[in-house]
Amino acid sequence: MSVLLFAEHSQGTVKKPVLQAATLANDLAAKMGTDVVAVAIGPGAENAASTLGEYGVSKVYTVSGIDAFNDQGYSAAVAQAAKTAGAKVVVLAQTYNGKAIAPRLSIKLDAALLSGVISLPDPANGFQVQKLANTGKGVETIESTRDSVVITVRSNAYKERRDPKPVENISLNFDRVPFRTQVLGEEHASSGISITEAEIVVSGGRGLKGPENWTVLLELADALKAGTACSKPVADMDWRPHHEHVGQTGIQIGPNLYIAMGISGAIQHLAGVNSSKNIVVINKDPEAPFFKIADYGIVGDLFEVVPKMTQRVKELKG
């Protein structure tokens, strides 16, 4: 009856959203009076296992023979681990790959899919839990009608917490089937900080006037070790790469701190960032709609304001 965690990792490195999912799984298991076991797939699974032991996982099923991500292979392996562990609850981080396999997995396990949760589910009450709805404009409380559930955890909604446990590795014999999709190659668009994981995101809009002016933003981001984002027109005009575009049709993020400069705060933009815990807005127009959801605001010219902020950050971080 353990809770099973999908221990997504890249060559053994476990990213923050997965640690957050591990912490939620750990808290959920405590409520259910059970433990957390995990499944780690591909090269580096043993290293991933030792990291997860630091976050409350007591047993890791390692799966070899699948080298690259494949939704068919991964969902089959996780389903097999769930059956082996007798787990009725499977927890995944809502990452690109987590999102890709969770629906398949929910069908294999005939489980209810609770996707993008932002709070701790209540196992005594149909795993009742909250998620965002209408792209962050609302909050929805959902409940499962099934005993089995697959839960994906939204990034940065649940804080990771260390809870070291001795961890045991067990290799899982996985009956590999031929895959119908094959990865041909990868192209990394940025070596920077992923904005879905970043604690701080600095974002710019059309108010920056052109791609050549981005230094002012990048310097602040650099000083803060923040991820960088942009509004849709900025990505559409190729001032910044598409993977920085946040909003209703871009990426949805929920960092601890979102700093927006030269962005008006159109409703479609806000839909991607309104779950940020703290919002700072810098805009020369006092009527800019963004101020309505801001925690801190400066009405002024970003080209004057931002360098002062960068300077101060550098002093503080010394």
Partner 1 sequence: MKSLVCISHVPDTTTKIKYDAAGKGLDKTGVTFVINPYDEFGLVRAIEIKEKTGSGDVTVLCVGGPEVEPTLRKALAIGADNAARVDMDPTDSRSVAEQIAAYAKGKGFDLIFAGKESIDSNGSAVPGMVAELLDLPFISLATSLEFEGDKAKVSREIDGGYEKLESSLPLVLSCQKGMAEWRIPNMRGIMMARTKPLEVVAGHPMDAYVLTKKLELPSAKAGCIYVEPENAAQLVDMLHDKGLI
Ligand X SMILES: Cc1cc2nc3c(=O)[nH]c(=O)nc-3n(C[C@H](O)[C@H](O)[C@H](O)COP(=O)(O)OP(=O)(O)OC[C@H]3O[C@@H](n4cnc5c(N)ncnc54)[C@H](O)[C@@H]3O)c2cc1C
Site residues for ligand X, 232-251, by CB under 6 A, read: 232-234, 247-250
Give the bridge partners for 227, in sequence order. Answer: 201
- Considering only residues 248-277, where is the footprint of ligand X by CB under 6 A? 248-250, 262-264, 266, 268-269, 272
User: Coil, strand or helix: which one is 101?
Assistant: helix
**Rounded Cα–Cα distance for residues 115 and 85 (Å):** 22
- Residue 98 or 247 with smaller CB distance to ligand X: 247
Residue 132 interacting with partner 1 (CB under 8 A): yes
- Considering only residues 175-204, where is the footprint of partner 1 by CB under 8 A? 179-192, 194, 196, 200
Give the bridge partners for 258, in sequence order. Answer: 201, 279
Backbone dihedral angles phi then psi of residue 279, each to the nearest 5 degrees = -125, 130
From 64, 84, 108, 170, residue interacting with partner 1 (rule: CB under 8 A): 108
Question: Closest separation between CB of residue 263 and ligand X, Å?
Answer: 4
Question: Which does residue 272 touch among partner 1, ligand X, none (CB within 5 to 8 A, set by kind)?
Answer: ligand X
Indicate the residue type of 19.
L
Question: Which does residue 303 touch among ligand X, partner 1, none (CB within 5 to 8 A, set by kind)?
Answer: ligand X
Residue 237 interacting with partner 1 (CB under 8 A): no
Question: Is residue 317 within a helix (H) or strand (E), and if so which, with residue range?
Answer: helix 302-317
- Considering only residues 137-156, where is the footprint of partner 1 by CB under 8 A? 137-146
Give the bridge partners for 61, in sequence order. Answer: 39, 170
- Residue 179 or 214 with smaller CB distance to partner 1: 179
Q: What is the DSSP letter of 163?
A: B
**Rounded Cα–Cα distance for residues 108 and 124 (Å):** 24
